[in-house]
Amino acid sequence: VRTAPAGDVQDTQQTGKGYANNLDGWIKQSLAIMKAKGIPGSYEGLHRNIMRESGGNPNAENGWDINAQKGTPSKGLLQVIQPTFSAYHVAGTAHDLTNPVANITAAANYAADRYGSIDNVNSAY
pLDDT digits 0-9 by tens, 7-64: 444 433 445 678 999 999 999 999 999 999 999 999 999 999 999 999 999 999 999 9
How long, in residues, is the chain?
Answer: 125
Cα gap 16→25, rounded to integer Å = 9
Mean pLDDT of 61-84: 97
Whole-prediction pTM:
0.85
In terms of Cβ atoms closer than 10 Å to its own Cβ (0-12, 13-18, 19+), residue 28 is middle
Instruction: Give the pLDDT confidence score for residue 125 in this predicted structure.
Output: 65
Instruction: Give the pLDDT confidence score for residue 17 in this predicted structure.
Output: 76
Give the mean pLDDT of the chain. 90
